[in-house]
Structure 1
Amino acid sequence: MVSMKDIAKQCHVSIASVSKALNGYSDIGEDTRNLIIRTAHEMGYLPNSSARALKTKKSYNLGVLFVDAAMNGLTHEYFNHVLESFKYTAEEKGYDITFIAGHAGGQNMSFYERCRYRGVDGVLVACFKYYEEDIQDLIRSDLPVVTIDHTFEGKIAVVSNNVQGVEELVNYIYSMGHKKIAYIHGDDTPVTRNRLSGFYRTTQRYGLDIPDEYVKQAAYRNLEMAAKATEELLDLPNPPTCIMYPDDYAAVGGMNVIKERGLRIPEDISVTGYDGIELVRMMDPKLTTLCQDTGKIGSTAAHKLINLIEHPKTTLIDKFSIDGVLFKGATVARNREC
């Protein structure tokens, strides 16, 4: 491994001069600085992370706490893309990523203790268990924290604009002549409550009377529950002409039931999903859905967390809302009853 001593010998300068050049000190000539930096790069020098941590009081390591309710882990398309964008942006800024687990290596630690054990500078929290005491302790701690899709007082949050997303879907469905619109929503979370608010607010604006039996609950990304809720909607004496699903995976479960009953999509009944995962563009017909901007959500979270770490006194503590984009697809037909 190349050391500062090796670089100093190659450049015929002192080790102190090499240290100053590589750490950005001003009391060294520009030509000497450029020579040292160029030589260090050519020799493949890498700074010692422990030494850098001692000097800067930072580890340049960000913790990621991600536990979704269905235990899908990184197979969860939405969070997978959010975290990939977060990781890419953090690495561009010189930070590494460590996933935080409360139970690792036989050591039973709280999330906060695990973060301290790993020496992370800050934490991204992206999970559905926000009200557990373990999470609350971490949120109340002195560690810089940014959350995804959940807001805590006095903490930075980056959220998808779920109200806007559902409103765009309902606007499009209504523009296609549908008035009998059913909504299968997800579990009781802040995300779901915002989406329900957007649904009722938009349907009321159009003067639509949505029967209670048109609104059902099914867990996110659960094909079986979405299928059961779809069966119940189709069995109604006055079934809906369009069904909105909580996510694209759930929509697949509902569409399977619709096709098994000999109904055509969208000719006999229209459907929509939510999220905009890659699968929807490979389906036949392509699923109408609201594409969440996972890239922007992840990169924004990384920028805000790093700003909070590096500039704690000037970083704005606020909620940052990211709009999605409607993908019209081909699963919403013009309603023949209109």
Structure 2
Amino acid sequence: MATIKDIAKRAGVSVSCVSRAINGYPDISAETRQKVLQIVEELHYYPRASARHLVTNQTHMIGLIFETHDQSGLMHPYIAKVLTAFSQAIGSQGYDLLMFSNSRKPFDHWGFVERVKHRAVDGLFLIGKPPDLDALMETAVPMVGLDFTLTGPSAASVMSDNRQGVQQLVHLLYQQGYRRFGFAHGPLTMLPAMERLQGFYSGLRDVGLVPRPDWIWNDNFTYAGGRAAAETILRMTERPEVVLFSADLAAIGAMQTFQEHGLRIPEDISVTGFDDVDAATIVYPALTTVKQPMVELGQAAAQLLLEMLRNGQHSLPQHLTIPTEIVWRNSTMTQSLLAPDMPKEA
């Protein structure tokens, strides 16, 4: 395996000159840099990350801390798409992604703070709010949070416009003639769930309707939670005409439960979701939903973090909210009052 000394000997320069050429220092002539990099490529030399860190004070490693509310974890289609877009964006700039495990064994006495310092990551991407967030922020490691508000001298956050998405959906359903609305929200300890519930209340208020407390449930953002909510609805003597779920997976669980009990969708009851995961187009009937900009969220999180790493300060908004859009499919009734500019998908 080639060493930095081999590169220096072949190029006829010092070891320090090779190091400075590899790490992009400006005090090396273009001719020398080109010569060194060509030899590096020919000999397949890869500098050790630890040595590079000593020279540049950077590891080119971004840490991922993921706090989930259910067992789906990184397999959840929303998380998977956001994270894929984020990883691709930082990868294009030469950064790798290091995931910190929720299991701390064999270092039970080490929390996230100690492990972040030990791994010397350049930045952090937080999906969900970790329990030791305040201590993490004291490390001054640049960080971006997803789906919660994170502000500070070296912090930023991104999320969808959850409230606007549900509020707009209520308006459009009302335009079609729906008057009896049910809503299934996620865990209200999570900001997206709270904002979607606020959007539901705001939408009903806008059109002059009063929410019914007995038509509001918790779906936990999960397939099982959607099935449980549907079972509750099936036991009711008076049901809503349409039920808005805070997650597509919950909506799909509810749809299948309704169908197992002989209800037709949307003729007997209409269902909507939130996310626009791939499965929303596969189920029958296809699911009307609020589309989250998952790829854009991942890319925006990467852009914010890379900006902090480059400049050491914010030149972009510290909290970025990205608009959602309604995708109309067959799990809701299509009426002549449907807004003509509404995105439509069979």
Q: Same fold (TM over 0.5)?
A: yes
Q: Distance in 1 between matches of 2:136 and 2:211?
A: 41
Could you tell me how far 1:153 is from its partner in structure 2?
Answer: 4.1
Equivalent residues of 2:21, 2:33 under 8 A apart: yes
Is 1:201 aligned with 2:199?
no
Could you tell me how far 1:158 is from its partner in structure 2?
Answer: 0.9
Match of 1:144 among 133, 142, 145: 142
Could you tell me how far 1:121 is from its partner in structure 2?
Answer: 1.8
Equivalent residues of 1:185, 1:246 under 8 A apart: yes
Could you tell me how far 1:314 is from its partner in structure 2?
Answer: 4.3
Q: Distance in 1 between matches of 2:30 and 2:143?
A: 39
Residue equivalent to 1:238: 238
Structure 1 residues 88 and 59: CA distance shift in structure 2, 3 A = same
Equivalent residues of 1:82, 1:295 under 8 A apart: yes
Q: Distance in 1 between matches of 2:233 and 2:22?
A: 66
Q: Distance in 2 between matches of 1:275 and 1:291?
A: 5
Residue equivalent to 1:260: 260
Q: Distance in 1 between matches of 2:264 and 2:235?
A: 16
Could you tell me how far 1:276 is from its partner in structure 2?
Answer: 1.1
Structure 1 residues 304 and 153: CA distance shift in structure 2, 3 A = closer
Residue equivalent to 1:157: 157
Could you tell me how far 1:201 is from its partner in structure 2?
Answer: 0.9
Identity %, equivalent residues: 32
Structure 1 residues 289 and 111: CA distance shift in structure 2, 3 A = same
Could you tell me how far 1:213 is from its partner in structure 2?
Answer: 1.6
Q: Distance in 2 between matches of 1:160 and 1:153?
A: 17
Q: Distance in 2 between matches of 1:120 and 1:51?
A: 15
Equivalent residues of 1:101, 1:111 under 8 A apart: no
SS of the residue aligned with 1:146? strand
Structure 1 residues 284 and 310: CA distance shift in structure 2, 3 A = same
Give CA-to-partner distance per residue, 1:132-161, whole Å, 9 cap, x none. Answer: 3x2332234322221111113423111111
Residue equivalent to 1:218: 219
Q: Distance in 1 between matches of 2:227 and 2:25?
A: 64
Counterpart AA for 1:213:
D
Residue equivalent to 2:3: 3
- Output the TM-score relative to the length of structure 1: 0.90
Structure 1 residues 276 and 141: CA distance shift in structure 2, 3 A = same
Structure 1 residues 269 and 102: CA distance shift in structure 2, 3 A = closer
Counterpart AA for 1:209:
V
Could you tell me how far 1:222 is from its partner in structure 2?
Answer: 4.0
SS of the residue aligned with 2:258? helix
Q: Distance in 1 between matches of 2:118 and 2:206?
A: 52
Could you tell me how far 1:217 is from its partner in structure 2?
Answer: 1.8
Residue equivalent to 1:167: 167
- Output the TM-score relative to the length of structure 2: 0.88
Q: Distance in 2 between matches of 1:213 and 1:333?
A: 23
Give CA-to-partner distance per residue, 1:21-64, whole Å, 9 cap, x none. Answer: 32334444433332332332233222221121011112111111
Is 1:123 aligned with 2:121?
no
Could you tell me how far 1:193 is from its partner in structure 2?
Answer: 1.3
Could you tell me how far 1:177 is from its partner in structure 2?
Answer: 1.9
Is 1:24 aligned with 2:36?
no
Instruction: Provide the aligned C-alpha RMSD in A.
Output: 2.3
Structure 1 residues 233 and 156: CA distance shift in structure 2, 3 A = same
Q: Distance in 2 between matches of 1:293 and 1:75?
A: 18
Counterpart AA for 2:133:
I
Structure 1 residues 310 and 29: CA distance shift in structure 2, 3 A = closer
Could you tell me how far 1:257 is from its partner in structure 2?
Answer: 2.1
Q: Distance in 2 between matches of 1:317 and 1:260?
A: 48
SS of the residue aligned with 1:55? helix
Structure 1 residues 263 and 249: CA distance shift in structure 2, 3 A = same
Structure 1 residues 104 and 244: CA distance shift in structure 2, 3 A = same
Q: Distance in 1 between matches of 2:99 and 2:307?
A: 20
SS of the residue aligned with 1:107? coil
Could you tell me how far 1:316 is from its partner in structure 2?
Answer: 4.6
Counterpart AA for 1:259:
Q
SS of the residue aligned with 1:183? strand
Q: Distance in 2 between matches of 1:75 and 1:26?
A: 44
Could you tell me how far 1:238 is from its partner in structure 2?
Answer: 3.1
Q: Distance in 2 between matches of 1:117 and 1:27?
A: 32
SS of the residue aligned with 1:192? helix
Could you tell me how far 1:335 is from its partner in structure 2?
Answer: 6.5
Residue equivalent to 2:343: none
Structure 1 residues 61 and 28: CA distance shift in structure 2, 3 A = closer
Counterpart AA for 1:136:
D
SS of the residue aligned with 2:266? coil
Q: Distance in 1 between matches of 2:262 and 2:313?
A: 62
Q: Distance in 1 between matches of 2:219 and 2:26?
A: 61
Structure 1 residues 278 and 45: CA distance shift in structure 2, 3 A = same
Counterpart AA for 2:193:
T
Counterpart AA for 1:192:
A
Q: Distance in 2 between matches of 1:116 and 1:159?
A: 27
**Unmatched 5+ stretches in structure 2:** 339-346
